[in-house]
Structure 1
Amino acid sequence: MSGNGAPEITVDGGQDLRVGVVAAQWHTPVMDGLLAGALTALDEMGVPGPTVVRVPGAFELPVVAKALAESGHDAVVALGVVIRGGTPHFEYVCSAATDGLTRVALDSGVPVGFGLLTCDTEQQALDRAGVEGAKEDKGREAATAAVATALALRTVATPRR
């Protein structure tokens, strides 16, 4: 399982951060789990009222992540899932979404928590979605990574505000 070796990250100081969450709508049970995990983690880190935007699918994540980054959010959490099918569509969407989210983070300087599941089966996605019985909670992990990185950036960069 991919969770082996994951660090335990404790985050303090999220109370003054603006965080945006962009979440795809495909595969409702998986996405409901990812979004719930991210929102729970943000609440536990003291992040007040994250902006949540839903988009049709994973391909649309980067453009909305960019808009959130440009609108003054300190961090963005991107959540989605692509499940392999019988066509090359999987590779195209995974590559485009991953490259786009990376570009948003690098171009804007705003951390993007990567919560895009790229799985062979729906069961693999459910096992990572934080739903009941899941082995991992990638929504929680993506939110924690985004906030921890935003706070780390404050120690090395001049705040944007």
Structure 2
Amino acid sequence: MSGEGAPDLNTDGAGLRIVVVAASWHTTVMDGLIGGALQALDRSGAAVELIRVPGSFELPVAAARAAASGADAVVALGVVIRGGTPHFEYVCQAATVGLTEVSLRTGVPVGFGVLTCDNEQQALDRAGLPDSKEDKGREAAEAALATVRALT
């Protein structure tokens, strides 16, 4: 696991409306990702809305709706853990391509906080929980804020 070289993106979110779209699978991991993102956004001063969807596959449509509703940025959070079927590859590709398309089509930055892990421990290590080594929810929120500021 890296985490090395991550930039410090403590960005001012005052006056921005940020929508967090979050999957519901893997409750413990998702609670950590959402907590990290919301804490970073609250600290930034941004107005925040949280939308929950069933899984990571549904994140792009929720992100597209949030972008169309006037959000300054979207933070997409989810976790997909590899299993014994190709389902992992399909969901990861659909979420990644879908969220990229939302950002490019709308011009609204999408912070990518979708964990794609081989096992649950890798997800827990990145979830921003007390014993985690990384906080990918916080990082995705900070990236979304920093991108909005870079484009304005």
Band the TM-score falls in, shorter-chain normalisation: over 0.9
- Matched to 2:142, the amino acid is T
The secondary structure found in structure 2 opposite 1:87 is coil
Structure 1 Cα separation of the partners of residues 145 and 20 of structure 2? 12
Task: Please say if 1:104 is aligned against 2:102.
Answer: yes
Task: Name 1:73's counterpart in structure 2.
Answer: 71
Task: Name 1:37's counterpart in structure 2.
Answer: 36
The CA RMSD measured in Å over matched residues stands at: 0.6
Structure 2 Cα separation of the partners of residues 93 and 2 of structure 1? 23
Structure 2 Cα separation of the partners of residues 65 and 10 of structure 1? 23
Structure 1 unaligned residues grouped into runs of 5+: 155-161
Task: Name 2:14's counterpart in structure 1.
Answer: 15
Aligned residues: 152
Structure 2 Cα separation of the partners of residues 44 and 150 of structure 1? 16
Task: Name 1:157's counterpart in structure 2.
Answer: none
Structure 1 Cα separation of the partners of residues 69 and 100 of structure 2? 18
Identity of aligned residues (%): 70
TM-score normalised by the chain length of structure 1: 0.93
TM-score normalised by the chain length of structure 2: 0.98
Structure 2 Cα separation of the partners of residues 16 and 151 of structure 1? 11
- Matched to 1:40, the amino acid is Q
Structure 2 Cα separation of the partners of residues 10 and 150 of structure 1? 13
Task: Name 1:24's counterpart in structure 2.
Answer: 23
